[in-house]
Amino acid sequence: MLDIAIITQNNYTNAYQTQRLKEEFTKLKTKPTIIPAESIILKYEQNILTYYSKTPSIIEPFNYFDLYVFREIFSVMKDMITTIQILKNKNAKVFDNNLTKTFYLNDKLKEGEQLLANNINFPKTLHFMDKQNLLNNLDFLEQTLNGYPIIAKKRSSGKGLGIYKINSRKELIKFAKQLCNEHKYKENAIKLFIFQEFLNIEKEYRVFVVGPKIVGAMQRIPKQGDFRANFSLGGTVKPAQITKHMQEISLKAHKAVLTEISGVDYAITKNNNYYILEVNRTPGFKGLEQATGKNIAYEIAKYLLEKYKQ
C-alpha cells in the first residue's frame, strides 16, 4: 500500500478539498496522511534528514512516503520550496504543481506576462513600484485603463480576497495612502498590487483542468451587489457546457503558466470579448463538485497515482 503525504498549511488541514483528497486516495487503496506544513522539521547534517511533528511529543521521519503532494502552502511557500528541493534531491516523488519551476503560487503579474506571451487575452494591467510612482502617473493610468472604475488586485490574492473596485481618482489616492500608511512596506506596498481595467462581464466561468484534460466547468454568478463571482464569497454556481473555443483557450492558459492542476477563470464581456482573469494554481473544487456532481477529488488522486506509479 502506497503511503501518501498531503502537505498543507495548518489552517487548511480540515478544509473541504484536503479532506476530499484524503477520502479519494483512501478509496484508491493508498494510505494518505495529512501533514501541516508548519510541523515539518529540517535537520541539517552531512545527509539532511527531514521529520514532522505527528503530535507535540512524537517526531516521525518524513522521508518514507511514496508520494508527497503539496497544496495550499501560501504563506510558507518559500520554506516549502526548500523542503521540496531536498525531497527531490533524494529522488522522492513530489507533486508541487511545478512550484519549483515557477517559484510562485499566486503572482498575477507574472501570470499575466505568461498569458500575453502566448497570445491569450488578459485585462489591461499596470504595475507601479511605489506610491509616488503611482501618484505621479494618474493621467497615464486613467488613459491606459479606460477611466474608472478600475480594479486594484493584490498580486498574490486568492478566493476573491484582496480585490477592490475603485470608482474615482479620489478613491484611488485614498486607497494608496491608506495602504502605504498601514503596511510594513510603507511606500513600497504599492508593488504588491496590480491595477486593471474594469471589465463589463456578461458571464464568468471556472474551468478545472487536471493534467492534459478538462474535468469540469461551471458558471460563476456574483451575489447581488458584488462584482466578484467567487463561490467562497457567496457567489452561486451552476454546471456549464463550454464551447470548443473556451476549451482550447482554457487548456492553452493552463499550459502557458506551467500548471498540471489548475482552475482557469474565463470571462465573456458584454461586447463578446473573452479574457482569462486568472489561472489558479491551487484551485478549490467544493463549488464545482456541488454544481456538477463530478468527483474532482477522484480525478486529481487518479491523475497523481498514474503520474507517479511505481
Q: State the pTM of this model.
A: 0.91
How far apart, in whole angstroms, are the C-alpha atoms of residue 166 and residue 183? Answer: 19
| Number of compact structural domains in the chain | 3
According to DSSP, the residues that pair with 261 across neighbouring strands are 210
CATH number at residue 155: 3.30.1490.20
In tens digits, the chain (310 residues) has pLDDT values of 899 999 999 999 999 999 999 999 999 999 999 999 999 999 998 878 899 998 888 999 999 999 999 999 998 999 999 999 999 999 999 999 999 999 888 889 999 999 999 999 999 999 999 999 999 999 999 999 999 999 999 998 665 568 999 999 999 999 999 999 999 999 999 999 999 999 999 999 999 999 999 999 999 987 665 555 554 555 688 999 999 999 999 999 999 999 999 999 999 999 999 999 999 999 999 999 999 999 999 999 999 999 998 5
**Could you tell me which of 108, 109, 36 has the C-alpha nearest to residue 72?**
36
| 181 part of a folded domain | yes
Judged on CB neighbours under 10 Å (0-12, 13-18, 19+), 45 is exposed
How far is the CA of 233 from the CAs of 4, 27, 191, 223, 226, in angstroms?
Answer: 31, 31, 25, 8, 9
Which three cell numbers, joined as nine digits, stand for 157? 490574492
Same domain, residue pair 288 and 234 = yes
| 43 part of a folded domain | yes
**Could you tell me which of 113, 110, 112 has the C-alpha nearest to residue 99?**
110
| 114 part of a folded domain | no
| 219 part of a folded domain | yes
Which phi and psi (to 5°) does residue 40 adopt?
Answer: -75, 135
CATH number at residue 44: 3.40.50.20
Same domain, residue pair 168 and 221 = no
